[in-house]
Chain A
Amino acid sequence: MASRNGRCRPTRAAVKSVVSFDVYLNVAVGGVLTGLVYGLMALGLSVIFGVVRVVNFAHGEMMTIAMFIAVVLCTGFHLDPLILLVPIAAVLFVFGYVLQRGLINLFVTRPEHSQFLLLVSLALIITNALLIIFGPDARSVQTAYGYESFEIGPMIVDAAKVYAGAAAVVVTAMLFAFFRFTLAGKAIRACADNHTGALVVGLDVKRLYALTFGIGTACVGAAGTMLVLLIDATPMLGPSYTLLAFVIVITGGLGSMPGALLGGVLIGVTEALAGLLFTPSIKSMFAFGILVLVLLFRPQGLLGRTLA
C-alpha cells in the first residue's frame, strides 16, 4: 500500500515473497544431511534393542558424553572433530562394552520396568556428572570450515553439514558391512534372530551382547562427535536427543537398521521443510505428527517387521 509520498506504509502487512524452488532444495538438502547424523545416532539405539532387547534410555546422554569429549579435545589440542571420530567412537565402544558386561547384563533377564529404571538412573547420573564437570553452559568447537559453505548450482550447502552427513554415511556403511560380512557380525545377527538357537550352536551370547552394546554406543559416540559441528554441547541435551532417537527408530522400525537411517532423514527433512512452509517454532510438532501417524497406520514402523 503506497502512502502519499509514494513510499510503502510502515505496516506489518506481509509482503509475502514467493519462495523459489532453490530455497526448498537448499532447506531439504540441509535437512537430509542433519537427518543422516540423527539417523546414525538412532541406529545405535536400534542395534542395541534389536539384539540385546534392552531399550537404552540413556542414549542421548551417552551422545552428550561424546560431544563433551570432542569439545575438550578440539579446544585443548586444536583437533578436528572429523579426526576425532574414530578415537571417540572407540572410547564409547569400550564404555558401552564394560557397561553392558558389568551392569546391564545383570538386568537382561529382569522385567522391563527394572531395565527402564536402571537406564533412566544411568541417564540422570551422566547428566549430573557432566553438569558437575563442565557446568551448564553451552560449549562449541571452532573449525577452519565452521563458516564455509559450498555453492553447487543454485544451492548453498553448509560445509560442516556436508562433512557430518558424509561421515555418517561412511560409518553407517561400515556398520552394515560389519553385520553382513564379518563372523562377529553374523553371530550378532544370529543372536538377534534366535537367542536359543545361538546358545545351542555354542555362541558366547553374553560377549556378543556386550559387543553389540559397545557397537551401539560407538554409533552414538560417532554421531555426537559429528553433531558438535552442527550444535553446541550442553549437559542438558541428553533427554531431548533420547526422545528424538525414539521418534526416529519408532518411525523407521525398532530394530531395523535401514529403518533408523530412513527415519532420521525423514525427521530431518520434515522438520526443515515444516519450518520453511509454516513457522519455524512449530517444526518439531511435525516430527511428532509423523510419529503419531506411523503408530496409527504402521505400528511396526516404516521398515520394521510385524511382530508375531
Chain B
Amino acid sequence: MPKKSRSNAIRLTRRSFAAGAAAFVAGVASFNIVRAQGGPLKVGVLLPRSGLQAGIGQSCQLGVDIAPAILKSLGLPDLAIMNADTESNVDTARARAEKAIGDGAQLLIGAFDSGQTTAIAQVAEQKGVPLVINIAAAPAITEQGYKFVFRNFPTAPMILGDAFAAQKEIFAITGAAPKTVVFMHVNDTYGTAMAKGIGAIMPKFDLPYTIAEEIAYDPAARDLSVEVAKAKATNADALLVVSRLNDAMLLTRELVKQRWTPQGVFSMGPGWYEDQYIKTLGKLSDGPISLSPWYDPHKKLTPVVEAVLAKAAPDVNLNTNHIFTFEALLVAADAYKRAGSTEPTALANAIRSTNITDNVSIGPGIQFDAKGQNDKVKGGAFQNRGGKLVTLAPTEAANGKPEWPMPSYQGRG
C-alpha cells in the first residue's frame, strides 16, 4: 500500500485544532451574549414556598404572578422568572441561591425572611449577581458594604420608628390609649432584631404606655397557651406583637380560648393581615392593627395593582407581601431597561441609580442610598375590618378611621 504523503493528508495539528476550538467557543459565546441582551432578564425568585413560612411565601408569589401584566402596561421589559423554594430554612436558601445562579439567574429576588435573605445576600455578593430584597428587615444585611445587594424594604429600626409614629397618630384620632402593653415576639432573626430595636427606639417617642412584660417564644411553637396565659396575667391594656403567620393564628386562638380581648392588638410584623389569617379565622380576624410597610391607596399605580390582583386572585386583599415582591420585580425590570444589558455590574449600577416615583408603597418612591437601602420607604398602620384592610396612618395614605378598642372576641358569633 502506497504510503500517503504527509503534505497531502488533512493537516490537523494541535495548533490548528486549538485555534478552531477557540473560534467556535468565541462564536457561540458571542451568540449567547447577543441572545441574552435581546431576551428577558432571568430572575431567580427565592421564597419560602413550603415549611413554617409557606403561607407567606405563597402570598409573596402572588406579587410575582401579577407582575408581568403591570410591567407590560408600564412599558418595561419582560422578565423570565425562575422560581425556587427556600423551604423556610437558611441553609436551603443558601443552596437554592447558588443553584439559581448556576442555572443562569442574572438577578435574584427574595426572600421574605431576614435569616434566609442574609444567607442569599452572601451568595449574591460572592458570585457578583445583584440581589433585590423584597422583604427582610434585619439592619445588618445592608450594613456589610455589599455592592450587589439592594433592599426596597425598611429596616427594623425604620419599621419601629414608623410604627410608633403611626400609633401616636391613632391615639390622637381616637383620644384613647393603653397605659400598659405586653410585648410578645417570635424568637427568630426578625423578632430579635425588632425586640432590640424597641429598646433603642421606643424611648425617642413619647408613648403613653409602658411594656409590662416581654415574652419571647419559639418560631416553631405549636402551642402558645402558656405564653398567652402569661401575657393575660399581666393585665396589660393592649398586646404588642412581632410574629409570623402560624403563630399569629395560634395567638388569636388562645386569646379566644382564654377569653381575653385586649383593648387592641398592635402587630409590628406579618401574620395578622395575611389573607390566610383572615380566611382561617373569619370574624375572629377583625380588630388587630398592623404597623408595617404598606401601600398608599391614593397612589396612581395602586388601583392598577389591585385590579390585576383581583383578576389573578379574587377575594384576596392587596398586602405587604404582594406589594414589595412586585416592587422588587419593578426595580429589576426598570434597571434592566436602563442598563440594556444582563451584565451584573451594569445591572447593579442601574439599580443603584433607580428613581421610581410611580410605585405602590408609602413614601416618595424607590431610590437606594450608598448602602443599597431605600431609606425613603415608609410604614403605615392598617386594621382588619370585615375581612378587609383599612389604612389608618399616615394621614396622607389613610382611607378610614381606627376602631378602638377592638370588639370583644366573645360576642362575634
Seen from chain A, the residues whose Cβ lies within 8 Å of a Cβ on chain B are: 3, 7-17, 19-20, 23, 26-27, 30, 34, 135-138, 146-149, 151, 156, 158-159, 230-232, 271-272, 275-276, 279-281, 283
Q: Is the CB of B208 within 8 A of A136?
A: no
Q: Among A3, A12, A156, A272, point to the contact of B258 (Cβ < 8 A).
A: A156
Q: With both chains docked as a complex, state the minimum distance between the C-beta of B328 and any C-beta of chain A, in angstroms.
A: 24
Q: Determine chain B's interface SS by DSSP, over half rule.
A: mixed
User: What separation, in Å, do the CA atoms of A8 and B258 have in the docked complex?
Assistant: 28
Chain B, residues 193-235, CB within 8 Å of chain A (1/0): the string is 0000011001101111111111111100111111101101111
Q: Which residue of A lies closest to B85 (CB)?
A: A136
Tell yes or no: B51 within 8 A of A by CB: yes
Q: Is the CB of B257 within 8 A of A149?
A: yes
Q: Is the CB of B226 within 8 A of A136?
A: no
User: What separation, in Å, do the CA atoms of A26 and B228 have in the docked complex?
Assistant: 11
What residues of chain B lie closer than 8 Å to A8, measured between beta carbons? 179-180, 208-210
What residues of chain A lie closer than 8 Å to B210, measured between beta carbons? 8-13, 15
Q: Is the CB of A275 within 8 A of B227?
A: yes
Tell yes or no: B355 within 8 A of A by CB: no
Q: With both chains docked as a complex, state the minimum distance between the C-beta of B55 and any C-beta of chain A, in angstroms.
A: 8
Q: Is the CB of B233 within 8 A of A148?
A: no
Q: Is the CB of A147 within 8 A of B217?
A: no
Given A11-B210, A280-B216, 10 other A-B contacts at CB below 8 A? A11-B202, A12-B214, A14-B214, A15-B234, A20-B233, A26-B229, A26-B258, A27-B225, A149-B258, A275-B230
Chain B, residues 233-261, CB within 8 Å of chain A (1/0): the string is 11100000000001000000100111100
Q: Is the CB of B229 within 8 A of A147?
A: no
Q: Which residue of B lies closest to A20 (CB)?
A: B233
Interface range for B: 35 or more
User: What separation, in Å, do the CA atoms of A271 and B224 have in the docked complex?
Assistant: 12
User: What separation, in Å, do the CA atoms of A272 and B230 have in the docked complex?
Assistant: 10
Tell yes or no: B87 within 8 A of A by CB: yes
Q: Is the CB of B179 within 8 A of A279?
A: no
With A10-B205, A17-B235, A149-B258 as contacts: A281 and B211 at CB distance below 8 Å: no
Tell yes or no: B408 within 8 A of A by CB: no
Q: Among A19, A146, A279, A280, point to the contact of B253 (Cβ < 8 A).
A: A146
User: What separation, in Å, do the CA atoms of A159 and B254 have in the docked complex?
Assistant: 12
What residues of chain B lie closer than 8 Å to A27, measured between beta carbons? 225-226, 229
Q: With both chains docked as a complex, state the minimum distance between the C-beta of A277 and any C-beta of chain B, in angstroms.
A: 9
Q: Among B52, B198, B218, point to the contact of A280 (Cβ < 8 A).
A: B218
User: What separation, in Å, do the CA atoms of A272 and B221 have in the docked complex?
Assistant: 13
User: What separation, in Å, do the CA atoms of A8 and B52 have in the docked complex?
Assistant: 38
Q: 10 smallest A-B Cβ distances: which pairs?
A: A275-B226, A10-B207, A231-B222, A136-B50, A8-B210, A15-B212, A23-B233, A147-B256, A17-B234, A149-B257
What residues of chain A lie closer than 8 Å to B183, measured between beta carbons? 12
With A136-B54, A138-B246, A147-B253 as contacts: A14 and B212 at CB distance below 8 Å: yes
What residues of chain B lie closer than 8 Å to A281, measured between beta carbons? 187, 216-218
User: What separation, in Å, do the CA atoms of A276 and B45 have in the docked complex?
Assistant: 41
Q: Which residue of A lies closest to B183 (CB)?
A: A12
User: What separation, in Å, do the CA atoms of A146 and B203 have in the docked complex?
Assistant: 40
Q: Which residue of B lies closest to A236 (CB)?
A: B51
Q: With both chains docked as a complex, state the minimum distance between the C-beta of B97 and any C-beta of chain A, in angstroms.
A: 19
Q: Is the CB of A14 within 8 A of B211?
A: yes
What residues of chain A lie closer than 8 Å to B232, measured between beta carbons? 23
User: What separation, in Å, do the CA atoms of A131 and B240 have in the docked complex?
Assistant: 35
What residues of chain B lie closer than 8 Å to A16, measured between beta carbons? 212-213
Q: Is the CB of A280 within 8 A of B226?
A: yes
Q: Among A9, A34, A137, point to the contact of B50 (Cβ < 8 A).
A: A137
What residues of chain B lie closer than 8 Å to A30, measured between beta carbons? 225-226, 229
Q: Which residue of B lies closest to A279 (CB)?
A: B216
User: What separation, in Å, do the CA atoms of A70 and B51 have in the docked complex?
Assistant: 20
User: What separation, in Å, do the CA atoms of A244 and B186 have in the docked complex?
Assistant: 23
User: What separation, in Å, do the CA atoms of A134 and B19 have in the docked complex?
Assistant: 56
A-B contact pairs, 30 of them (CB 8 A): A7-B208, A10-B203, A12-B183, A12-B198, A15-B210, A15-B213, A17-B213, A19-B233, A23-B229, A23-B230, A26-B229, A34-B223, A135-B50, A136-B54, A137-B54, A148-B257, A149-B259, A158-B225, A230-B223, A231-B223, A275-B227, A276-B226, A276-B230, A280-B217, A280-B221, A280-B224, A280-B227, A280-B230, A281-B216, A281-B218
Q: With both chains docked as a complex, state the minimum distance between the C-beta of A175 and any C-beta of chain B, in angstroms.
A: 25
Q: With both chains docked as a complex, state the minimum distance between the C-beta of B223 and any C-beta of chain A, in angstroms.
A: 6
Tell yes or no: B284 within 8 A of A by CB: yes
